[in-house]
Homo-oligomer: A and B are copies of this chain.
Amino acid sequence: MATSKDILTVELGSRSYPILIGQGLLGDPQSFTETVHASDVLIVSNTTVAPLYLSTLEAALRPRRTVATLLPDGESYKTLGTVTRILDVLVANRFGRDSVIVALGGGVVGDMAGFAAAIYQRGVAFVQVPTTLLAQVDSAVGGKTGVNHPGGKNLIGAFHQPAAVVADTATLATLAPRELRAGLAEVVKYGLIRDAAFFAWLEQQAEALLAGEPEALAHVIRRSCQIKAAIVGRDEREHGERALLNLGHTFGHAIESATGYGRWLHGEAVGAGMVMAARMSHASGLMPQDDLRRLVGLIERLGLPVNIPNVAAEDLLEHMRIDKKVLGGRIRLVLLRGIGAAFVTAEYEPDLLRRTLEGHLADL
């Protein structure tokens, strides 16, 4: 059974890898022929996704020996303790250094399966099979793996690139509407960072995307992966340009940590975080008022929250201070000169950051 697909490449020299995008890919043995050479495969999934797709994936991976381990679903389980369970399964099944881990699920599953792959026997190969929009457009690509610490989001982890990303767009048909909306926040991010035309296209297609229109979603995945693959190819370890991809994330991580992991979806927090970054940029005289209006309008039309109820500014600030973007004691932020024009800076009025967190900056 051959399926039509797009193939993009993340160019990283000897660690380059393909991103396959198309309908039905996770059930197609050809999706894994080139990249899963191992005879032993551990599939890591969760209790929500596995009933839908695990048996299809297992069939596609035959005749390899597959073992599956299912994690509880949700960001609150993205801990070192859960990764330890994956490692225990690998040891119990005598998996060697030449085995492969396949992540079947959303960002949480991918982050933990990838981290387990990074630290088992000092590194084994892994393949991402993302089943949420957020994972397909963002977290499955680029090799950031890890878990949360009670003190902060993604504080424990490693850079470990996958051997392949297999994005089966058919899985989006079963995605909960709230998860779809959360994924669209990361899509908006790409337009906001460096592609004003893509942002304008999203404004036109918002309703089609929310309705789950396959052609519109396929375009969104392709364009997002193109932008991310290019940036990661130039700056794998985030010494420079890659930091732009954190637009909205320093704010967003603080929201997630301060409210307890799992209450806000990651994409929701990023959406509200981008609005905060834009409001602060506008108040600094950087971002035109019309651009701020357009962003808030699009986030609202996508059904995503733009404000953060019930969190003290001091709480958020405390969580931002331990975020990975802190260097030399200063919190670095991604701010905007307008739609399509993001930049990284630690030069801003500290009081403006506090007022942003207090929600005292108006949209207009």
Over the window 120-131 of chain A, the binary record of Cβ atoms lying under 8 Å from chain B Cβ atoms (1 yes, 0 no) is 111100000000
> Which residues of the partner chain B approach A157 to less than 8 Å between Cβ atoms?
119, 121-122
Selecting from A90-98, A214-222, A246-254, the interface stretch reads A90-98
The stretch among A146-154, A268-276, A292-300, A345-353 that forms the contact with chain B is A146-154
Q: Which of A56-104 contact B (CB under 8 A)?
A: 80, 84, 87-88, 91-92, 94, 96-98
Which of A23-31, A180-188, A323-331, A334-342 sits within the interface? Answer: A323-331
**Do B80 and A159 touch (CB < 8 A)?**
no
The answer to whether A118 touches B158, judged by C-beta atoms less than 8 angstroms apart, is yes
Which of these, B123, B144, B149, contacts A158 with CB under 8 Å?
B123
- Judge whether A322 is part of the interface by a CB distance below 8 angstroms: yes
Distance (whole angstroms) from the CB of A144 to the closest CB of chain B: 7
Asked whether, in the complex, the Cβ of A96 is within 8 Å of the Cβ of B158, the reply is no
Q: Is the CB of B324 within 8 A of A155?
A: no
Given contacts A80-B80, A122-B144, A329-B96, whether A156 and B87 have CB atoms under 8 Å apart is yes
How many copies, total? 2
A91 touches B123 (CB 8 A): no
Known pairs A80-B84, A122-B157, A159-B122; A94 contacts B322 (CB<8 A): yes
How long is the Cα–Cα vector from A329 to B40 in the complex, in angstroms?
Answer: 10
Asked if B326 and A155 sit within 8 Å, CB to CB, the answer is: no
Residues 217-254 of chain A: 1 if any B CB is under 8 Å from the residue's CB, otherwise 0? Answer: 00000000000000000000000000000000000000
Question: Does B322 lie within 8 Å of A91, measured CB to CB?
Answer: yes
Is A321's beta carbon under 8 Å from chain B?
Answer: yes
Q: Could you tell me the distance in whole angstroms from the C-beta of A254 to the nearest C-beta in chain B?
A: 14
A324 touches B158 (CB 8 A): no
Task: Tell whether A155 pairs with B84 under 8 Å between CB atoms, given A324-B97, A326-B97.
Answer: no
Evaluate contact between B121 and A324: CB separation under 8 angstroms. Answer: yes
The reply to whether A122 and B152 form a contact with Cβ atoms under 8 Å apart is no
Given contact pairs A91-B149, A96-B327, A329-B96, A156 touches B322 in the complex (Cβ within 8 A): no
Give Cα distance in the complex from A159 to B157, angstroms: 13
Cα distance, A98 to B149, chains bound together (Å)? 18
Q: How far is the CA of A29 from the CA of B330 in the complex (A)?
A: 27
Instruction: Determine how close the nearest CB of chain B comes to the CB of A324; give it in whole angstroms.
Output: 5
Partner of A149, one of B87, B96, B326: B87
A321 contacts which chain B residues (CB < 8 A)?
94
Cβ contacts under 8 Å, A96 to chain B: 324, 326-329
Q: Which residue of B lies closest to A121 (CB)?
A: B324
Of the candidates A122, A150, A158, A324, the one having the most CB atoms from chain B within 10 angstroms of its own CB is A122
Beyond A97-B326, A158-B158, 19 additional pairs, beta carbon < 8 A = A39-B328, A80-B84, A80-B87, A87-B156, A88-B151, A91-B151, A91-B152, A91-B155, A91-B322, A92-B151, A94-B321, A96-B329, A97-B327, A119-B119, A119-B157, A121-B155, A122-B154, A122-B157, A123-B159
- Top 4 nearest A-B pairs by Cβ distance? A91-B151, A96-B326, A122-B157, A121-B324
A interface list, Cβ under 8 A from B? 39, 80, 84, 87-88, 91-92, 94, 96-98, 118-123, 144, 146, 149-152, 154-159, 321-322, 324, 326-329
